[in-house]
Structure 1
Amino acid sequence: MRILILGGTSFIGRAIAEAALTDGADVTLFGRGRTGTDLFPGTPRLTGDRDTGDYAALADGGWDAVVDVSGYVPRHVGQAMDALGSRAGRYLFVSSQAVYPRTGLVPDADEDTPRRPAERGTEEIHESTYGPLKVACEDDVLARYGERATFVRPGIVAGPYDNQNAFTYWARRAARTGPVALPGRPEQPVQVADSRDLARLVVRLLADDRPGAFNVNGPEAPVTLGDLVRSCARAAGAEIELVPVPPVDVHRHFPLVRPQEQWGTFTMSSARARAAGLTATPLERTARDVLSWDRDLGEPPLRRGYTPEEEREALAGRI
């Protein structure tokens, strides 16, 4: 199978490229050429830039399937589809569960849950526009490809090379023995999918030529936030004590912590994806692999979560 990946050298795209190559696919990568230039030797690369609309490199060639990891606003997918013309068989768009409402979701809500209204009036991406922009992207792909459109909607994704740091924060923090400040409730549900499970599903959906939308979450059995942090500690062989501390506005987007009215976003059903072949890597294995990768990098500063000083102040009740 000939697969074109739009954005395949960072995190999710990298995992998909590796899974596709392992499966024997003929992969072509399209991107800006700024990251991962040493990855996948011998794999053809096309250079362009979604931000400037430079898709000229896609003017020639044909592919059985396109995997779009890089589309965030309708212009991105529209220009990519225009450049490809009729030379792509299936268009698999990596969307997000942010297409669903943030509140009011019932447990096990599935892919038929009504989505948020599409956003076409801005390209500014933030909490209130990210999901609606993805809705607009989905609508445009469906309008162009119909039954040849596939949508993969992941929630939180974790694994080596993660550039979002949500799971990485807890894996790193739980590896240190002692009290761990949790600015939320340990019983909060949480869902985290391993990037490699997501990647294998993408390859399977393409091989099966399967249309439709698929929620991607993990692990297979329901877990709480407390369970997740303790799993990370076990993966590191650490003894920890979870200490719930009050959430504060400055940590509204604390890694994996949600206000109770948004807990439904972590109870989404992935039954359709599991029936299509979604695997479930155990949390402890994901944590071990993330810790190994993170340590190899030298544990660089994270953009999310407490700094050590902030955590000391939280544990002391000062914030």
Structure 2
Amino acid sequence: MNILILGGTQFVGRHIVEAFVDSGHAVTVLTRGKSKDELPEAVERLQGDRNEGKAGLRALTGREWDACVDVSGYTPRQVRASAEELRGHVGRYVFVSTVSVYAEPERHPVREDDPLSPPAAEDVTEVSGQTYGPLKVTCENIVRELYGDHCTVLRPQIVAGPFDHTARYPYWVDRAARGGQVLAPGDGSDFLQVIDARDLARFTVKVVEDGIDGVFNLAGPRIGWADFMTVLGVSEPVWVDAKTLETNGLGFKELPVYIPAGGEQSGLMDVDNARAVAAGLTLSDPAVTTRETREWSRNADLNYALTPEREREILASLGG
């Protein structure tokens, strides 16, 4: 099959490109040409910018593909430009959305039919913590409006794995690798649930190859934080309660991917993946995700909000 991927040079997009290439498909990417490109040589590169509307998509004119995978659509302006330009020229439009579209993220578990946030206006272009979910809702609506039964919407959780320059999941594998006492949030009974980027990529290939319509949550195994520390190889976790975390200014930025159970976002660590599993989603063992993320991150030179010095200060103040 001939596959067009909007984006594709970074993290999730890169894994999706490689999964299609590994499955024997011909892949074309459309990017702005501003990110480092380490994609396979066989991939066709086109350059364009959806922020410029139709004018920014001239490279697509007169071309046809069996499917388009939209990895980089964050605003309605971007998604409407590509969805309208490609209508009638691609057999399927696969839109990579997010579990942040859900209006009630405290639900347990979060399912595809749960209420969504009110959609953002189509002229909103600023992507922030407040607008990210509503913007994705509007983008999903645009894709469904234009493609009907010939579209697939994927709603991944926090994505983990090699090439993750967001420095969220890699914080924990890199911190574990340093050894010693590790500041661990909560008491070990909270939950962690992420999706390995390779699992997401394989499922994307499957929905295209099999022509699978619909909306799918993409979530990995749900494990307790105590188990996560064991998977990481942490032998000396120092569990720190919510009040102490707050007192020391430690939140999601400093302790990424930690969402306490019972909090207003806690359902996002309890995402139901049954629909996707029934459609063919396969999941990596958390130990594999951890190990292979570390193999990449050891040379990635990532920067983290919680420095070793600050962590030591906090642990010392706790008597750790």
TM-score by length of 2: 0.91
* Residue 251 (structure 2) pairs with residue 252 (structure 1): yes
Q: CA deviation at 1:197?
A: 0.4
In structure 2, what residue type is equivalent to 1:244?
V
1:239 to 235, 241, 248: 235
SS for the counterpart of 2:257 is coil
Cα distance between partner residues in 2 of 1:82 and 1:37? 27
Q: Please say which of residues 95-104 and 54-63 is displaced more in the overlay.
A: 95-104
Q: How many residue pairs align between the two structures?
A: 308
Question: Does the CA contact (< 8 Å) of 2:74 and 2:136 recur in 1?
Answer: yes
SS for the counterpart of 2:302 is coil
Cα distance between partner residues in 2 of 1:38 and 1:12? 13
Cα distance between partner residues in 1 of 2:43 and 2:101? 33
Unaligned runs of 5+ in 2: none
Structure 1 residue aligned with 2:223: 223
In structure 2, what residue type is equivalent to 1:32?
R
1:134 to 128, 133, 136: 136
Q: CA deviation at 1:82?
A: 2.3
Question: Does the CA contact (< 8 Å) of 1:188 and 1:263 recur in 2?
Answer: no
The C-alpha deviation readout for 1:156-209, integer Å capped at 9, x for no partner, is 110000021111001111122221112334211111111000000000011110
Structure 2 residue aligned with 1:206: 208
* RMSD across aligned positions (CA): 1.7
* Residue 161 (structure 2) pairs with residue 163 (structure 1): no
Question: Does the CA contact (< 8 Å) of 1:66 and 1:88 recur in 2?
Answer: yes
Structure 2 residue aligned with 1:275: 278
Q: CA deviation at 1:102?
A: 5.0
Cα distance between partner residues in 2 of 1:266 and 1:241? 21
Q: CA deviation at 1:311?
A: 0.7
Question: Does the CA contact (< 8 Å) of 2:84 and 2:146 recur in 1?
Answer: no
Q: CA deviation at 1:307?
A: 0.8
The C-alpha deviation readout for 1:28-76, integer Å capped at 9, x for no partner, is 1110122243421031111012333311111121011100000001111
Structure 1 residue aligned with 2:118: 117
Cα distance between partner residues in 2 of 1:168 and 1:56? 38
Structure 2 residue aligned with 1:46: 46
Structure 2 residue aligned with 1:20: 20
Structure 2 residue aligned with 1:57: 59
Q: Please say which of residues 308-317 and 88-97 is displaced more in the overlay.
A: 308-317
Cα distance between partner residues in 1 of 2:152 and 2:58? 24
Question: Does the CA contact (< 8 Å) of 2:87 and 2:146 recur in 1?
Answer: no
Q: CA deviation at 1:215?
A: 0.5
In structure 2, what residue type is equivalent to 1:207?
E
Q: CA deviation at 1:139?
A: 0.4
Cα distance between partner residues in 2 of 1:209 and 1:282? 27
The C-alpha deviation readout for 1:73-104, integer Å capped at 9, x for no partner, is 11111011222231011000000000013543
Unaligned runs of 5+ in 1: none
In structure 2, what residue type is equivalent to 1:290?
T
Q: Please say which of residues 88-97 and 57-66 is displaced more in the overlay.
A: 57-66
Question: Does the CA contact (< 8 Å) of 2:9 and 2:38 recur in 1?
Answer: no
Structure 2 residue aligned with 1:6: 6
Question: Does the CA contact (< 8 Å) of 2:165 and 2:302 recur in 1?
Answer: no
Cα distance between partner residues in 1 of 2:245 and 2:96? 32
Structure 2 residue aligned with 1:79: 81
In structure 2, what residue type is equivalent to 1:126?
S
Question: Does the CA contact (< 8 Å) of 2:112 and 2:216 recur in 1?
Answer: yes
Identity of matched residues, % = 41
The C-alpha deviation readout for 1:226-280, integer Å capped at 9, x for no partner, is 32232122xxxx5332332522274332301224322111111001111111111
SS for the counterpart of 1:293 is helix
Question: Does the CA contact (< 8 Å) of 1:28 and 1:45 recur in 2?
Answer: yes
| Structure 1 segment 135-154 matched on structure 2, within 5 A | 135-154=137-156
Q: Flag the 1:57–1:263 CA change in 2: closer, same or farther, 3 A.
A: same
In structure 2, what residue type is equivalent to 1:198?
L
Structure 2 residue aligned with 1:67: 69
